[in-house]
Amino acid sequence: MSDLLLLLVTGLGLGALYFLAASGLSLIYGLMGVLNFAHGVFMTAGAYAGWLTMSDLPQSLPIGARLAVAVVVAVLVGAVIGLVVEVVLIRPLYHHHIQQVLVTVGLSLAGVAAAQGIWGADPRPVETPAWMSGTTVILGARLPNDRFVYIAVALMLLAGLLALLRYTRLGLVIRAGVENRTMVEALGIDVQRTFTIVFAIGGAAAGLAGVLYSQYAGAVSPGQGGSLLIYAFIVVVIGGMGSLTGTAVAAVVVGLVQQLANYYAASGVGDLSVVLLLALVLLLRPSSLKGASA
Amino acid sequence: MNDTPPAAAILSVADLHVRYGGSHVLQGVTFDVPATGVTALLGRNGVGKTTTLKAIIGLAPRTGRITLRGNEIQSQRTSRIVRGGIGYVPEDREVFGGLTVDENLRLVDPDRGVDAPVVAKLFPDLVGRGDQQAGTLSGGQQQMVSLARVLLRRNDLLLIDEPTKGLAPKLVTEVADVLAEVARTTPLLLVEQNLPLVRRIADQVVVIDAGRVVHHGDAAALVADPALTRELLGVSMRRKGAA
């Protein structure tokens, strides 16, 4: 029983990280139809921004406070990078999907190379607050505390994004744009400005995912964002391209399947199970778990 | 070609070309839309009527010169052209089916939505349906949403593409009534296949064939001439529909 509880909580924690990584990707694809292969670079940038911030802040500050500042900096860095990438690289290529893919793939490769050039290819350890490294015993299971943080942050992000979509004018424009971008433009609404904002929001979510994933991994490395991006894409495809709630459900499912398969089958089977799950969903339900709707 | 350009034009289209891939859809379309009344854009299926409206609004890649109140707009983006005073009601309504009626309207009028006076005046059927998903409305009701949405903004000109397409005769009459009311204050450029409706509300006609303007003149004169109507449009006015 305690093993199962441990697996469920760690699986949910992993799913929470996948949702953090995939939410921006899902928003960007849903509204703009852009498959952003550079999303991993946004996460890597967030992770390194967080690591540098924690290293540079006075050690006299409590580590929890330094991590909080690092999270804010990572989110801001992700948002700024997202904004710049949209304005400089994506905007000239709307309606040119192949070129978008080439540019974002190129950017992801260049981003990894740049990180390697500046900080080296080896992982750099990050500091983790003692509480997050510890465990809490519930029903006999020693549950890692950091997973609760990831789950709480993911729930807050999901609630925040859903509230944004449901209760704000920007959200209304995004929901309409997901259905029919051309018609939104034909109503006199500057969709291009909305694209930029959505890219910045997606970048911010990626920055958040990056800094929290570095806490999960205990280190930052140039290829970290790229690794997480693979799972993010799987989650977005299973959840329905552009559906935020579908993405959340898919992230939980993927996290749990991976964790349970690794434990009950064999170590490493989790990754295979996720790919099989993706294939199964695409075969049985090509429109994914939920149709495209923000 | 009957060359009777109206005295005052709100919109001028000159040498408008549109190419889709290897297809040259519009081949130098030129006409004016007067600042009052209804100008009907007519022609057989597939001659470029919808493309003409899309080109004016910036939804089709075009070359040529388009002026609104004398100001060139052909290099502007769609949203700016619309905010500059041209409203557009597309063929097939294109309401946002996943949004409510009220949300569809609030995209244009964030403060009032379905509570805007023009909705109660022209589309009373929508008043009690603010919370209904637009995708669950009938075709006629969706057309009302599509028209209401564009009327929530101040327009110098409205481009309306086949507003009666697929509607029951009773609804065609209702839409015609709304268009006639709107045309009292705002000039319309109307793509329409329903000739009785054209006869009822249009003042001018522009006929397009194979991507070119082949006739431009008085609407009443065209529909009163069966031979000319048959020659230009391939239809007879004896095939009457509701309007």
- Burial classification of residue B70, based on how many CB atoms lie within 10 Å of its CB (0-12 exposed, 13-18 middle, 19 or more buried): exposed
Question: What is the reported pLDDT for B5?
Answer: 47
Contact A14, A259 (CB under 8 A): yes
Average pLDDT in the B4-19 region? 83
pLDDT one-digit tens code per residue, B25-75: 999 999 999 999 999 999 988 899 999 999 999 999 999 999 999 999 999
Is A189 in Cβ contact with B107 (below 8 Å)?
yes
Question: What angle (nearest 5°) sits at the alpha carbon of residue A190, between those of residues B54 and A205?
Answer: 130
Containing structural domain, residue A60: 2-225
- Determine the distance from the C-alpha atom of residue A51 to the mean position of all C-alpha atoms in its chain, rounded to a whole number: 18
Q: Which residues of B touch A175 (CB under 8 A)?
A: 96, 98-99, 103
The minimal CB distance from B107 to the residues A182, A187, A190 is found for A187
Is B96 in Cβ contact with A188 (below 8 Å)?
no
Residue of A nearest to B94 (CA): A183
CA distance B38 to B189: 6
Instruction: Give the residue extent of every domain in chain B.
Output: 9-233
* A175 vs B: CB within 8 A: yes
pLDDT at residue B7 greater than cutoff 70: no
Distance from CA of A39 to the nearest CA of B (A): 28
Contacts of A63 by beta carbon, 8 Å cutoff, 6+ apart: A54, A127, A128, A129, A130
CA proximity to B87, closest of A144, A18, A183: A183
Partner B, chain A 185-244, Cβ-Cβ below 8 Å: 185-192
The minimal CB distance from A186 to the residues B59, B97, B98 is found for B59
CA distance A238 to A129: 34
Contacts of A162 by beta carbon, 8 Å cutoff, 6+ apart: A244, A245
The answer to whether ipTM exceeds 0.90 is no
The model's pTM: 0.85
- Burial classification of residue B22, based on how many CB atoms lie within 10 Å of its CB (0-12 exposed, 13-18 middle, 19 or more buried): exposed
- Residue contacts between A and B (CB atoms, under 8 Å): 58
The minimal CB distance from B103 to the residues A172, A186, A189 is found for A172
Torsion sign, CA atoms B173, B176, B178, B181: negative
Question: What is the reported pLDDT for B236?
Answer: 57
Torsion sign, CA atoms B75, B80, B86, B87: positive
Question: What is the reported pLDDT for A290?
Answer: 53
Q: Which residues of A touch B135 (CB under 8 A)?
A: none
pLDDT one-digit tens code per residue, B224-237: 888 888 888 876 55
| CA distances in angstroms from A165 to A170, A188, A272, B57, listed in the order given | 7, 20, 34, 28
Distance from CA of B89 to the nearest CA of A (A): 9
Contact B26, B48 (CB under 8 A): yes
- Kindly report the length of chain B: 243
Residues of chain B with a CB closer than 8 angstroms to some CB in chain A: 57, 59, 77-79, 82-83, 88, 90, 94, 96-99, 103-104, 106-108, 110, 149-150, 153
pLDDT at residue B104 greater than cutoff 50: yes
Average pLDDT in the B166-190 region? 91
Phi, psi of B218 (to 5 degrees): -75, 135
Q: Which residues of B touch A169 (CB under 8 A)?
A: 106, 110
Question: What is the reported pLDDT for A294?
Answer: 54
One-character DSSP codes across A200-256: HHHHHHHHHHHHHHHHHHTEE-TTHHHHHHHHHHHHHHHH-TT-HHHHHHHHHHHHH
The minimal CB distance from B90 to the residues A172, A183, A189 is found for A183
Residue of B nearest to A189 (CA): B79
Q: CATH topology for B9-233?
A: Rossmann fold (3.40.50)
Query: What is the token pair recorded at A104?
Result: 């974002």
Which 8-state DSSP code applies to residue A36? -
End-to-end CA distance of chain B: 28
Contact A199, A80 (CB under 8 A): no
In a domain, A289, yes or no: no
- Tell me the average confidence (pLDDT) per consecutive run of 10 residues in chain A, 294 residues long: 88 95 90 87 96 93 94 97 94 86 94 95 93 89 92 96 94 90 94 91 96 95 92 90 88 93 87 90 71 50
Could you give the number of structural domains in chain A?
1
* A293 vs B: CB within 8 A: yes
Is A179 in Cβ contact with B98 (below 8 Å)?
yes
Residue of B nearest to A180 (CA): B96
Contacts of A43 by beta carbon, 8 Å cutoff, 6+ apart: A21, A78, A206, A207, A209, A210, A213, A224, A225, A228, A229
Contacts of B120 by beta carbon, 8 Å cutoff, 6+ apart: B127
Best mutation target, A174, A187, A191, to test chain B (most B CBs within 10 A): A187
Is B107 in Cβ contact with A184 (below 8 Å)?
yes
Contacts of A111 by beta carbon, 8 Å cutoff, 6+ apart: A38, A40, A41, A44, A45, A225
Residue B174 CB: number of other CB atoms within 10 A?
A: 20
The minimal CB distance from A180 to the residues B82, B94, B103 is found for B94
